[in-house]
Chain A
Amino acid sequence: MKQVLSEEQQNIAFFNKCEGAILVEAAAGSGKTRILTERVRHLIMEKENKFFSVLCLTFTNKAADEMKERLENDIPKLKERVFIGNFHEFCLNNIIRSQRQVIGLQEMPHIFDETDKKKIIEEVLLMNDTLKNIYQFPNAKTPQEKAKKQQELISQCVDFISTAKRNLIIIPDEISSLEGWTKERVFLYKNYNYKLANQNAIDYDDILLYAYRILVERPRIAELYRDLYEYILVDEAQDLNYAQYQILRVICGDTHKNVMMVGDPKQAIYAFNGASPDFMQKDFISDFGAIKKEITKNYRSSTKVLELAQYIQPNGGIPNNYFEGIREIKSFEDEKSEAKWVIAKIKEWLNKGYYKEENKEVEIPIGIENIAVLSRTRYIFKDLITELENDEILKSKFYLRKGSEKFEPESVFMKIFDWGLRVIINPLDVLHFNQIYQMLKVEIPRKDNRLEHLLQLNNFDNYANLPKNQVDLLTKSWKELNENPTRLDMILNTLKEGLSHLKIQDEEKIIIHFDIQKFEELWTGFLMNTASNKQSLANFRYFLAVKSVDENKKGITLSTIHTVKGLEFEVVFLIGMNDDVLPFYKAKTLKEIAEEKNNAYVAVTRAKHCIYVTYPLSRIMWDKPKARQTSRFITGFKS
């Protein structure tokens, strides 16, 4: 359905008949998605020339889905004219899938997640004497200390590799001449990539890197995309990173200027991921000659919400709002009383069921999906979650949003099932194949035919970590899956049925069933979102890789600010608003502090009508309660 745009929004959305480069700096709630959606509609429906396509890159799937939903009914064959999706989806399913042969890939690569990455890094560390020596931490006093240090080292390696890839470092030979690249670093980077390639796998950062390589190595392909996508739109452009911006640059070349970037530098909170608003504010303007337009009016939030947001980040003043809204800033003795108050308040809203102001006719319904509790970090939710779990009414009505974290089963049983599934899809996958054998502590077969071995996994007598009858069940299910690769639903039923006959501890059983249920949900979501001829297991894995887990969850949202981007709620609680939390205690430099401020701004502007900011005066730190300060971002605030 078509949405009405204000005159201000219209002038921006259809500026210069949609021709030329334009940067839209749009404040929170100013209708970014609406502007993008209506621009796409305008291009497709109003332009006389029908021979072009539109590329619309969003930051989250939620934004993409929302746009698709709003356009689908009016534009038949929307998919043929417009690509709407996030950057990774575009690079993976569009560029890499179609053009992978250019970089010598016969088959689609498989995507390894963070855990896989760490495993491979460990393998590489043990391959080189110097690295091995460092990794063993001979000076560690206790095994615990050693383990902790090893984990830290691996995390550093993960960061190092990620950063290199985000900086589009391609050719290994070039690396040695780069500053700061020691022999060991080169060894790590080369061999890590080599190990991935051997298993026909890539990591998440590779998605952008590979797409970039394709476009650079075969300029004709870049030209193909340039000709195809005559209009390009980028959402949340303040979070573009180097690789993403370079991909856009290669696609556009020097001639393609019809690019609209929409973003809000005040909401830039992904610097730790290599993102920077500079790409949109500086490079885009100088490279594309973009014209800058600002839209500051917040059409989303009520006056009370806006007043607070304005205090944190002055931005365009406060327009005349229909709703006055509700705002409370409260301190509590400790975290527990804070949590209890939040729960009581949530119940109050749920009992009432709607939001309405005196003398105003509009009544906004409020349910669990309209309420969010936000915080800077996840550990702040500890007490709240405990309280929620003990609450008879709310205990199954909330979820902790995980954002971009990928689904991973918790039970050993389903973990092994999942690894097996990956081997079925990709028999070259040594990593997960070996993980199965290591977990079960049985001898890893030397021969190459992994799939065959996997389907005979139950040939051993004894296993660690899992009883034999469960291994039997797993083997049986893999066999079935191998024969019916499009019937994961059926195989999951086989598992449930099989498990019901086995003796398993209650706690374990619950976790397994929870995992199976997760699989079922994800599979159903995949089927709903995928054309029937694409419903393969391999595509299911890609789906998991580019989709986040929480997409279809219902309930009160508990979320860190980073993963709540682009969403809006009627009622928002911003909890734990202490000075060591927001700004985060690690933030030291001015730039870091500025980004922390952005975080506070993002959090507050998620609220449409009611904002509650709470903080405890003391928090338990290492078993002892310690006094805490109020966040500097709100201390001086007076209504």
Chain B
Amino acid sequence: MNILIDKVRVKNFRSLKDVEVNLQPITLLVGANNSGKTTFLQALNIALGVNKRQLTKDDLFINQNGETEQNEIIIDLRIIPINKKSERTEKFEKEWIGIFNTNAQTDESGSFFAFRTLITFKEISDKCETNYYFISNWENPNPQAGDTLTSSARRFILLYFLDAQRDLEQDSKLRGSYFGRLTVQLEKGYEKDKLDEITTLVKELNDKTIDGSKVLSHLKVELSKLNQTTNSTGEGVSLSPFPLKIRDLHKGMKVNFQDNGSDTFGMEYHGMGTRSWASILSFGAFIKWEAEENKNKEGYFPILALEEPEAHLHPNAQRTLYQQLKGIYGQKIVSTHSPYIVGQAELEEYLFFTKKEDAIIISAIENISDMKAHEQQAMSRFVVDSRGEILFSRLVVLAEGETEERFLNLLAQKYFENFYGLSINIIGCGGSNYKYFIKILQAANIPFLVFSDYDNNETRTKVNSQLTACGLDSNNCDELIDLGEDIENYLITAGYENELRQAANLFIPVWFSRENIRERERNRIEINEGLRNFLKTYKTKLAPIYGKILLELNDGRQFPPKILELFIKINTILNINI
């Protein structure tokens, strides 16, 4: 791969009013349902797709007032030369120079090739006209009527759109599927004498099969009456259980799969997960074949637009997907809801999709190259790898540690009806990692709240500096709820000492065995004399216990004030009426 579509601009297409994004060799489109990911893939498909559907005026952007603003859809793409490390290089390789011809352009970094797909709808009818123009200035494109694309790039740069409904079982029956398009060519792979040999073998097999079968022999005799009625002079009717010509073999081709020592089954007996993934793999096989066939003859650059590769797959299987996808030849643009796939990718590879009012916003993590290596690593490790699910949330609460995570989750489940349906994530992220989470959430346009202990000056300074680093004002921060002390002390101050003591006492018999009576007693004394110390020692383990105790209160004290403040903030942000 020596070229890359590095920039895309879409205007006035469905929910995409005006977006511009950067693409990588593999790009993951991340966002809630209905946030424009498929629309974005379809836009690319209009410009470069091998299979296109007819556009109608319904594809125009419609604003909040339900009006279309313009009668045209614009899709701009920029292609740059890259090296093996996917870095931009100065010049295109030989095979592309002729293809881009004089439509290629130059800027301060070297050559590039950019073109516009312009779809114009007629005033009255639903018909549209599609024109392609070269673009000489990406930042300020202004193609004129005569600047028609003369490059043949669109014949060599091809986008294949694999939607979520793929299924190898179906593919194997369709000539137009990638499986079909590859197997149709199967004759090509044989030496001439091998081909003849197989043809003879198949003929022999056919004869033997018919002769040995009473049913088929019977059928053959009866059908031969056809020869009499049509006065045929040729060979007349014959039966062939197996295709006579090698090139017809693909018609009956089946894919079987054996799993963990079970019998071998045809695809139709396998689950959708296997069938869907097999379909993607057969696409990969097709692409690899085409690329090999075209080598040294013409340029060939496939782009895979893929919807939810994780569909129907087991989480463990999902983990292997990313690497396999990466291995497919060409550029990949993949929409996904899988934290497992997201967790494997690089920070540059995300595009976040969010719906804001009538239009979609697409964003990315900015200035990654300016970050220090350890910062990038921390982001990958602490955030996307271990907490990938937050990227699919509507709101994230960043709490100090596991204690807070457990406690707050328990209370929130009670407070919010349909808590899981709201896609709220409450996570403990460890006091010094706030900034990594915040930066990614900011990039993804996901609202967040920080629920911090602020228990001593040191912590205070640490949290403040992290907020400042993320561009927030730590003295006046709407996103921040601080307890002023650690959660246990806060609860005692807020009047929950009895409940905490109760929890501690409930915990002892669970934690210390009956035999160890002395230990139990010693702890009981400790609870009475030094509850705070005890709480500190068994922090995380106690949180669910006192959480449950709080939830059973019916004197209006179920939710401590600071926690209620947090929940009310969540309500406001998500616009939920209770």
Contacts and interface: CB of A to CB of B under 8 A. Distances in A.
Are these two chains actual partners, yes or no? yes
Interface of A: 49-53, 77, 79-81, 94-95, 97-101, 106-108, 218, 220-221, 223-225, 227-228, 531, 533-534, 536, 538-539, 542
Interface string B120-151: 00000000000100101100001011111010
- Of all A-B residue pairs in the complex, the 8 with the closest CB atoms, nearest first, are A51-B94, A220-B106, A101-B136, A98-B102, A51-B95, A53-B98, A94-B102, A536-B145
Contact of A81 (B94, B98, B104): B98
Contacts of A97: 146-147
Nearest to B152: A80
B97 A51 contact: yes
- The CB with the most chain A CB atoms within 10 A, among B91, B131, B145, is that of B145
Contact of A95 (B95, B102, B131, B296): B102
27 contacts: A50-B297, A51-B98, A52-B97, A52-B98, A53-B101, A80-B98, A80-B152, A94-B102, A95-B102, A97-B147, A98-B103, A98-B136, A99-B136, A100-B136, A106-B142, A107-B144, A108-B146, A108-B147, A220-B106, A220-B111, A224-B104, A227-B97, A533-B131, A533-B148, A534-B148, A536-B146, A542-B146
B136 A227 contact: no
Nearest to A485: B145
Nearest to B106: A220
B298 interface: yes
Nearest to A538: B146
B39 to A, nearest CB: 27
A538 B145 contact: yes
A50 B298 contact: yes
A227 B91 contact: yes
B106 A224 contact: yes
A108 B144 CA distance: 8
Interface string B293-315: 00011100000000000000000
A224 B111 contact: yes
Nearest to A536: B145
B236 interface: no
Contacts of A227: 91, 97
Contacts of A223: 91
A534 B131 CA distance: 10
B241 interface: no
Interface string B96-122: 011101111110001100000000000
A27 to B, nearest CB: 35
A542 B103 CA distance: 19
Contact of A534 (B101, B102, B146): B146
Nearest to B104: A224
A562 B438 CA distance: 77
Given A220-B106, A227-B91, A538-B145, 10 more contacts: A52-B98, A79-B150, A80-B99, A98-B103, A98-B136, A99-B105, A101-B136, A108-B146, A224-B106, A536-B145
Contacts of B137: 101
A570 B290 CA distance: 54
A308 to B, nearest CB: 45
A218 B148 contact: no
Interface in B289-339: 296-298
Given A50-B298, A531-B148, A98 B105 contact: yes
A228 B97 contact: yes
Nearest to A51: B94
Interface residues on B, range: 20 to 34
A228 B151 CA distance: 12
Nearest to B142: A106
B100 to A, nearest CB: 8
A460 to B, nearest CB: 32
B106 A221 contact: yes
A225 B91 CA distance: 12
Contacts of A533: 131, 148
A44 to B, nearest CB: 11
Most buried by A among B101, B103, B110, B298: B101
Nearest to A224: B104
B152 A218 contact: no
Nearest to B99: A80
A538 B146 CA distance: 8
A152 B100 CA distance: 48
B102 A228 contact: yes
Nearest to B107: A220
A53 B106 CA distance: 19
A628 B305 CA distance: 82
Contacts of B142: 106
B138 to A, nearest CB: 11
Given A98-B105, A101-B137, A77 B94 contact: no
Nearest to A219: B106
A97 B102 CA distance: 9
A507 B397 CA distance: 90
A50 B299 CA distance: 10
- The winner among B94, B106, B137, B298 for most chain A CB atoms within 10 A is B106
Nearest to B110: A220
Interface in B142-188: 142, 144-148, 150, 152
Contacts of B298: 50
Contacts of A51: 94-95, 97-98
Contacts of A80: 98-99, 101, 152
Contacts of B105: 98-99
A139 to B, nearest CB: 49
B120 to A, nearest CB: 12
A218 B137 CA distance: 14
Which of the listed residues B97, B110, B134 has the most CB atoms from chain A within 10 Å of its own CB?
A: B97
A77 B151 CA distance: 11
Contacts of A94: 102
Contacts of B91: 223, 227
B109 to A, nearest CB: 10
**For B150, B152, B297, which residue has the most chain A Cβ atoms within 10 angstroms?**
B150
Nearest to A79: B150
Contact of A228 (B95, B98, B296, B297): B98
A632 B296 CA distance: 61
A221 B142 CA distance: 19
B145 A52 contact: no
Given A80-B152, A101-B137, A228-B102, A52 B94 contact: yes
Nearest to B91: A227
A225 B94 CA distance: 12
Interface string B208-244: 0000000000000000000000000000000000000
Contacts of B152: 77, 80
Nearest to A533: B148
A53 B102 CA distance: 11
A225 B136 CA distance: 15
Contacts of B147: 97, 108
Contacts of B104: 224, 228
B331 to A, nearest CB: 21
A22 to B, nearest CB: 23
A225 to B, nearest CB: 7
B412 to A, nearest CB: 56
Interface in B66-105: 91, 94-95, 97-99, 101-105
B293 to A, nearest CB: 14
A227 B97 CA distance: 7
A135 to B, nearest CB: 37
A329 B96 CA distance: 59
Nearest to A226: B97
Residue of B102, B145, B148 with most partner-chain A CB within 10 A: B102
A54 to B, nearest CB: 10
Nearest to A52: B98
Contacts of A49: 94
A424 to B, nearest CB: 13
A275 B102 CA distance: 27
B105 to A, nearest CB: 7
A107 B134 CA distance: 13
Contacts of B131: 533
A51 B102 CA distance: 14
A79 B147 CA distance: 17
